[in-house]
Amino acid sequence: MELIRGLHNLRPRHRGHVVTIGNFDGVHVGHQAILSRLRESAARAGLPSCVVIFEPQPREFFAGREAPPRLSRLRDKLALLKAAGVDRVLCLSFNQRLRELTAEAFVQRILVEGLGVTHLQVGDDFRFGCDRAGDFAFLQQAGSTLGFTVENTQTVELLGDRVSSTRIRSLLESGDFATAEALLDRPFVIAGRVLHGQKLGRTLGVPTANIQLKRLRAPLHGVYVVSVQHEGQVLAGVANIGERPSVAGDGQAHLEVHVLDYAGDLYGQYLPVRFHAKLRDEQKFAGLDALKAAIYADIDAARAYWQQYPLPCCV
Ligand SMILES: Cc1cc2nc3c(=O)[nH]c(=O)nc-3n(C[C@H](O)[C@H](O)[C@H](O)COP(=O)(O)O)c2cc1C
Ligand SMILES: Nc1ncnc2c1ncn2[C@@H]1O[C@H](COP(=O)(O)OP(=O)(O)OP(=O)(O)O)[C@@H](O)[C@H]1O
């Protein structure tokens, strides 16, 4: 899969595409239905498929830190799009210039002149352009004038409701990992490199792997039963995502995992962490003894969970 960063990196050889546009946060089963139709249309047309995404996502541009948290970082999203058989991704910076583009200019400059679109696959509620003025009817009209076809993908519903990134975020927030996994068609995983922490965990008797979240604002907050994958093995653990109000922190959210019955060194490893159940909210404890007692109780709760359920075969 080829990643094209910005319109200015489009070359004449990039003209001629079957295209879809969206955030594709999480690449859930609704997105996968669109991508599968896109693949079919591209094969029929004998042209590469292209997904146009935005970075930051439009809502992040408008609302900043008030925007909903991400289900997937850009690198995860790209890996998922590649796995779905997408040939090219055009990643556009969502900035003031882009937000002011009218729907007409968006179609003309990006889809027609930039990508040489022959077919556009869109979702049921797709809207784009300044003030979201470009809807399906508009695109059909533009397509008939500018020479491309437009197809609407039927709404994908699961367990009685439309699948959406928003719904998955709220399932994760409420700790309903089983339903979130069904809508994603895979486990919910946050992966990152293990960094050195404040080394306080060891003095508490609970060593933790501090996973770098970088700019990711995770849709989870609190203490969870987790599993991690390390050197081909799945290991059981318990994790906290939060600002660690009981110790002087840096105000940023951290993901810290205590792997049960593990004494090795995880520094520098890229660790995928899969979430299974929420144990409690993060709390501000009066002192380290109270924090330590709570963490020991979390470890007991995680052990009880793993006695009841088998470890997954992979993360
Ligand atoms: C299972 C678990 C639960 C935790 N719960 C809380 C909590 O409720 N409140 C809090 O301030 N920190 C909590 N922490 C974070 C600890 O404060 C943190 O792991 C400790 O300060 C060690 O940090 P370090 O690895 O950077 O040295 C939790 C950590 C773990 C592993
Ligand atoms: N369940 C679904 N069925 C059909 N199409 C969908 C579904 N979910 C999203 N799409 C389509 O996929 C494309 C990308 O969707 P996008 O990520 O912008 O929306 P979303 O998943 O509904 O997210 P959000 O909840 O943040 O609005 C759009 O064309 C959208 O209409």
Phi, psi values for residue 109, rounded to 5°: -80, -40
**Confidence at residue 17, expressed as pLDDT on a 0 to 100 scale:** 98
The answer to whether 151 and 41 are in contact (CB under 8 A) is yes
Q: Is the pTM of this model over 0.80?
A: yes
Instruction: Decide: 219 in ligand 2 pocket, CB within 6 A.
Output: no
Instruction: Decide: 151 in ligand 2 pocket, CB within 6 A.
Output: no
C-alpha closest to that of 211 among 272, 302, 278: 272
Query: Rounded to whole angstroms, how far apart are CA atoms 129 and 104?
Result: 8
**Confidence at residue 262, expressed as pLDDT on a 0 to 100 scale:** 95
Cα(67) to centroid(ligand 1), Å: 26
> Domain locations in the chain?
2-162, 189-308
205 sits in the region (left: phi over 0; alpha: psi -120 to 50; else beta) called left
Closest ligand 1 atom, residue 256 Cα:
31
Q: What is the pLDDT along the chain (315 residues), one digit of tens a residue?
A: 999 999 999 999 999 999 999 999 999 999 999 999 999 999 999 999 999 999 999 999 999 889 999 999 999 999 999 999 999 999 999 999 999 999 999 999 999 999 999 999 998 788 887 777 889 999 999 999 999 999 999 999 999 999 999 999 999 999 999 999 999 999 999 999 999 877 777 778 899 999 988 878 899 999 999 999 999 999 999 999 999 999 877 888 999 999 999 988 899 999 999 999 999 999 999 999 999 999 999 999 999 999 999 999 999
Q: Which of 153, 159, 185 to mutate to test the pocket of ligand 2 (most atoms within 8 A of CB)?
A: 153
**Confidence at residue 250, expressed as pLDDT on a 0 to 100 scale:** 82
**Confidence at residue 106, expressed as pLDDT on a 0 to 100 scale:** 94
Architecture per CATH, 2-162: 3-Layer(aba) Sandwich (3.40)
Query: Rounded to whole angstroms, how far apart are CA atoms 123 and 247?
Result: 46
Q: How is domain 189-308 classified at the CATH fold level?
A: Elongation Factor Tu (Ef-tu); domain 3 (2.40.30)
**Confidence at residue 96, expressed as pLDDT on a 0 to 100 scale:** 94
Tokens (6 digits) for 56: 């930051």
DSSP H helical segments within the chain, as ranges?
Answer: 29-45, 58-63, 74-83, 96-99, 103-105, 136-146, 165-173, 177-184, 200-203, 288-308
Query: What is the complex's ipTM, to 2 decimals?
Result: 0.83
